[in-house]
Structure 1
Amino acid sequence: MSCPLLSAWSATLAAAPAAPILIDAASERTWTRAELDTAAREWVAAHGADLRGQAVVFALPNGIEWLTVTLGVLMAGGIVVSLDPGEPAAAQRTIAAAVNATHWWHDRQLITLAPRRSSPRDGRCLIKLTSGSTGTPKALPFTAAQLLADGRQICASMDIRATDLNLGCIPFGHSYGLGNLIVPLLAQGTAIVCGAPVLPQALADAIARWQPTVFPAVPALLRALAASDIAPAQLHSLRTVISAGAALSPEIAQAFATRFARRVHSFYGSSETGGIAYDRTGDAASTGRSVGPPIDGVQLTFTRGQRFFVASAAVGGRGRFRPADRAELNAHGELVLLGRAGRMLKLAGRRVDPAEIEHALRSLPDVRDAWVTLHPERPDSLAAAVCGDGTSDALRAALAERLAAWKLPRRLLVLSEFPVTARGKTDTRRLRDLLAHRPAPPIS
């Protein structure tokens, strides 16, 4: 059975073998399409003899080795399982066992972990892993056709072209990175520049040096750039700035646009579906009214309780999936997120939706983001973490003008930044620890 991703890569390679495909900003080394293809074929010759239908786990940072191993595993007929690059070795082994992986690429060696397994019949070539912030990651198998569909839908909706240069700050192996960086690279030759530290000035220097045109980012990074003293001219090459992975506040979108004269475009998706909605104009992001209309090729069907199904050629499983979010379409045909389904909490016999309190907190002038949960010591009360300025007493007093007294968080923690996972999402586990006064590692 031919692999659609490899067929697309063959066409990309044949079109311009000498074209750049990856730039390492740290070393200033540039790889061409032909060099990547040769490296992957050499990897297969050395390691791929018995990988057909077998899952290969690895944890690598963005760079040429990630691309070489991924392309090599695909060429060998194997199944790619990319972990977060900071995952400890013991955790890598644990995850490998959980996804029935037979091989582990570690320290540039292919280690056999288990006897060869029978090849799956569903055509899978890659397994995505949901965020592990709430427990053991869940394995989501995808075929090459589904991955290719997601990347092509994203490129069509975002106008990502073969001649663009992507700024590769988000992890290659995350669903966001696969759809916005890896598939565009393989399917149409959109090159990536990566390897620059994600500190604002270092990143701005890399942008000024290499002139990328598309910047898939996360809100925390955009906020840091907007709050820096970086000269706006350093980001002049960027044509499209995208924000995904966590909720983008209109304050961040406005601050970035004001400083750099570049609008931010909200992007919403999930590991199970790939891309779902995209704010093509940037208007929705700057006003906070929505995450944009559905992307090309995506159909949304709404059911009771403001739940909805996503259907497209990119969706795993049976091509239809219901996210955990509640949402509705506004008058512009855009998707408005209304909070997570199933988050209802019970306080002394009364039910409350944490999204209601979070929305009320975010509407306060000094609040950029908010997260609400049960009080760690008093199950009849709420606790909240707020990303913003001001004191907890002042925020609680302002909130008292908008909500009933029993809905007011008894414990309110004010942070300058929310901790985030390696995938750019709010780290709710660390927020729970902070609200419970448990020590947590420093925010990197």
Structure 2
Amino acid sequence: MRKIQLLLLSVILFWSSAIGYAGPREDYEEAHALYIAAAASVAAYHDRVGELASRYLEQEGWHIDHYVQPGSRSGARFLLAKKENEPGKNLYVLAIVGTETTDDMKINLKFDKVYFAGSTAEEFALNAANKNPPRTAPQVHKGFNEFIQSGPSAVLRNAENTPLMLPDLLHMNPNDKLYLTGHSLGGAAATLAGARLLNLGTKAKQLQVITFGAPAIGNDAFAAAYTPILPLTRVVIDGDPVTGVLQTLVGGYKQFGREIIWQKPATINDPHKITGYVDAALKNYYDKRQLARQAGVSIAEPVAKKAANPGRVYIAPMKDNLPAALADDFWYMREALMDEYRKTLPDCLITAETSTGNWREEAVAAGCQWIIVPEVTGIRLKEQKDSYLITFHQIVLDANTGAAVDAAIFSTRTYNLTPLEAFIHTFRGINAHQATWLKER
């Protein structure tokens, strides 16, 4: 089924390119940006999923800092990731935490509107306090506005409690670019932050806002004012109730910006869950990457950073022991695993996913010293609907003798993860474990 979908997408992309729309390269680059934004949005949280996302961002070369409100005060908390995109050009991702505490819930319920205008922080605060703004003036959700107004008071989570001077940073470095992102409340705050930065003098070309499951934040006048100038992409999982809740229950709110609609992962019951957005972002990224490869687009593959080369490693096709309900996840799991091997092994030979050849003969012929035979298993757990134990097995063979030199098993329950995310979570032990068996050889 996945191959049929890829074939259909290939045809669509071919004809889209022919009539002037974006092609496979642009689609892949956008998918990568959406994947990074989704990862940063979840990495902003301090939980199990956040730690996993932070690890993968750091593996991709991002430097991550967390900013929190001092003295346990309520208000905006966020992650700032930085990476040098080109010499002299830095790329930043600021991901704002969504609803996480009781105070955050209270912010969501302050749905009265306030006047949104100003070119300084002081003017924004004064206008928000105006009880009689013009009817045609841009107005925004009071709670979301208070949340983002607290942003400048957030400090780096370190001994120095350094504040973040984001507007100054962008003004001093006009070649730098900032992605603002977040899920739910975090996405609403990211949109408001983008609008404030424009009013404070930041150039629109330096900004890109990407939100996931975010509610509307303002009235028609606000949408009309910022639609032409704020680069905004809203990602929505079909059926997510939060994106339309203010329009339905309160009224006077309007969404704007470009909308991308994704389908809910089969193992997620709640279409608003952030893990569903991350799962969909991962699959969208791998799909678009595959289409770009098929179109002949040059893709920068992950590369191991280790200087020492322990010998060439042959990666055999991954064995599939997943239940039928997870059949569609297998290809994505394999893609994620092969990326992990590329990141951790300086010289590895990855076989075609459909290879049925003699592994040992192929490995020896290619000058490999080791053979890794991976396998994934999924067991459905009875105590919770759509809950699985995902297990990753890895056997290492000596290519010359065929003898097993190492074996390892990593397991993760899905719990608040999707099966794909749980499988990726099993990689946490691969780095340390492979360093052990390779070092001993």
**TM-score normalised according to structure 2 size:** 0.31
**TM-score normalised according to structure 1 size:** 0.31
Structure number with the higher helix fraction is 2
Q: Indicate the structure whose relative CO is greater, using CA pairs within 8 Å and at least 6 residues apart.
A: 2
**Higher gyration radius (CA):** 2
